[in-house]
Amino acid sequence: MIRRLAWLSAKAYTKEFNKSHNDRAKMYYGYQLFYSELYHIPLILLTGWILGLLPEIIIVTLSFSILKHYTGGHHADSWLVCFIESITLMGCGAALTHMISSNINVSIIFIGIIIGILIQIFTLTSIGNRFMIKYSDILNKILY
């Protein structure tokens, strides 16, 4: 459904603004990301709410997402695979954040940010083969 909607949107855009086939491919990719996030984010929040870990899952997801913006990272083959990976990693990260912050009386914000960073490091080094940027560029983006 997301692919079809993205294709129709990209087709309409390129037809309306007389863009090339290459522009259509770029727009298709962009619309896929946009439409998938319309489903993805509310479902992650719903999962956090169902698990009783809403604050934790928000903190872990935000810290992971902000870092991923700068470092790039893994891209799944489909929206469903991405969603399953995200729910698994963010859910486990939120549960771990909750357990650590409950047992040692440390702020969930601090622990959530650390867990989000660790998840991003894990995905950069351990999952899949689709990376947007090279490892050498990661330090440059963070440091400069």
CA end-to-end span of the chain: 40
**pLDDT greater at residue 141 or residue 76:** 76
- pTM for the full predicted model: 0.69
Say which residue the tokens 């037809």 belong to.
15
- Please give the average per-residue pLDDT across 78-106, as a whole number: 84
The per-residue pLDDT of the chain, averaged, comes to 79
Task: Estimate the share of the chain in helix, then strand, then coil, as percent rounded to the nearest 5.
Answer: 80, 0, 20
Asked whether residue 43 carries a pLDDT value surpassing 70, the answer given is yes
